[in-house]
Structure 1
């Protein structure tokens, strides 16, 4: 099998996964008890503070049914939904009163600004520390308790600790630099008017949530790499290399190259934690991402925004995992030589 054939096979597989995912999302929303989509649309169409008669309510309900397409057969409803998803029409948010696709562009961009750098930085630092812990026993005794504490600490709890000890107690030693809340104003001010002052204001609010994510994620990556490195260093090929005189540094470098592959796979999967981390950040730092939007959507039954968030993160996870497949071919000679036949 050639590399092109392999990538085409993966593309077909991910298309099937995406189709199944959006179908499950449609089934969960369409057949949910109480018909939340119809309820949300009725709330959006009903004037606030205005008393309406039963006849007017029935008329609004009929209009909502027609706008949602619920008066058509289920098979037509389903394929209409699929067509709209493929064309980027995710409906209208009944809470924000704006197209879901437009709102998601802003929310997802805010998430990526914070969460993507945090995941990448924690991945590099965590793998490096995990490899060191596996190689040096003295360092291992110091790092392992720290790694396990970080791994077991929830994002929101670590965020609260950071706010109290760094943002409040120790902030006086930093001249009041840190801000415990990261708002959309800080982000927009820096992006629309980049300057030294807006950058400093942005970093004041950005530092604490960024460090909270990096430190907690570092514990997970370090724990995984430590386990993988210990396994590789005790494998037969490592013992054979040691017996014929290879240096510890050379053996460790080979072990690291083998141990890093599962961690690269984990990097693609880690994107799925974006929404969880966003929820944690929302409750602690009031971060203006999909987390806070999802809370609003759940509280106000904005079913179209919930659906849009689920779809967009499905697309992102699939896209990142496809990039990981390509990266595997580039960095793993075993896979590359397998395609080339030797």
Structure 2
């Protein structure tokens, strides 16, 4: 894992006079999924948390040796006395965050999604969710947002966490979503899990009059032929696909679902009660995420909707460049357009 800011576990580097160590200038770990020339905002989570902390002294931040790579460094630099570096010990970090919440603080605990879910699940479940504490777990690199392969690709985090009682789960689209969601998560009395988009995050939703509301889905555009039900970065791709499909006289609507749990079943059911093709879009495995939640909502609501899933396959994914991987696994805008045309 040369070039990774956080390998699964550190190993001593081996260098010799005959094999000099190369200086790496880019990293698949922190690669951006933004399109070339797209408007972006730097570290929106870090700046939103910093602004909130200026108003609320009970806000604290924790990191498991990854402040720079979860945008927590913005908060750390502004509020060093309220930042806690826990080292490579995710379980201990969540346990400490639970104790801080018991004492009246409002912690935001950040690490990579794979470590927050696979490695520290028991602490999240029993120390935080079971007592219903106001701890906000921030998971960076959700789904396929790194090219570093299965050890760092959190493709199944929603499936792991949706079954955890008391836990609110959000998967945000862009910098606008993040900026508005951070104070809402702090205000929420129970625990939350945020799938964090970090670094230079696209700015998209300001063009649609959007306002984040915890627990609510939002229709961003209407359309009579196709309904995209999307979450996370895939809402950006769904909007791009809907715009491109206009050239083929295909009218596509986009329903953004930023809160995965509790799911806004009322709005989703209202949108499903048409004869449109429904395409669920998520940066997550097809198992246990948004697509299955929407399908269950349709089944329980007896809508009879035809639903197809644009999601990651039920397998360990390859390593590589993000644009190549998104094309390969069906998350690119081109792939979404092709999927719709094939299904109509």
Tell me the TM-score normalized by structure 2.
0.26
Larger Rg: 1
In proportion to residue count, which structure has more helix?
1
Tell me the TM-score normalized by structure 1.
0.26
In proportion to residue count, which structure has more strand?
2
